[in-house]
Structure 1
């Protein structure tokens, strides 16, 4: 859930960019257009605050996305309130069961709140432990939803596809 501070950061970022545009003589933003844009951002922020304080998280998130959509025009600005992924930013959504993070990265050019396509994929703690130990397994079987045998490198046999890496 988005905090009041996060929503305020988005509103402040938008307000600063609009003021910059309005004050830029080459931009041509009229006082009327400037005020209209500021009012729109303020309405989204106020809607967020009202929904947040009444505990309506879905409505609050919707208003926050309204702020993000307004700010999208300035995605390349260095003060953009959320990092833009280079394709290696981890998904911030934890597993509801174990709390472990999703192993899918956020797509290049997307923000962590925009996430990634498809569903989440949470790795079980036991799998993490085994992978850190260098376990050999057939990931293709797992992706197909089939159980797969596994073994540690010291127990590798000629039938293993990683036998040549020994």
Structure 2
């Protein structure tokens, strides 16, 4: 699998699936979650309600339609909330390995990822980057390209340094 980094907006990526850093309720939220729901339109929320009436557990992954996004699917993962005391790193890495497993089930060959839990959930950024890169590089998958989408040049430079290391 090819691991790449781009500076851009995850909602505009021309990929088979985008990964959403969702909350347990699966009803939209802030940050990446809010952006994906806004760009994907009401179809994403309706599919979340239908597929996940009780939400999704921390560390778990599931999919919905991409709605109005360029991507066909949204793979939702619920990262651990470090700021609220959820500090088990395996919950964070399971978001990435679980997303790849879902992508394989769907037949997705290109997948765009955000840095899960590194925003409002407060996971230390350096470790969030290492967890993403290590897990994406070591998880067996049929995905051909895993793309980490950085929002802004500074974030791109940080992530690219970890990918290149």
**Structure-1-length-normalised TM-score:** 0.25
State the structure with more CA Rg. Answer: 1
**Structure-2-length-normalised TM-score:** 0.25
Which one has a larger percent strand, Structure 1 or Structure 2? 2
Of structures 1 and 2, the one with the larger relative CO (CA 8 A, separation 6+) is 2
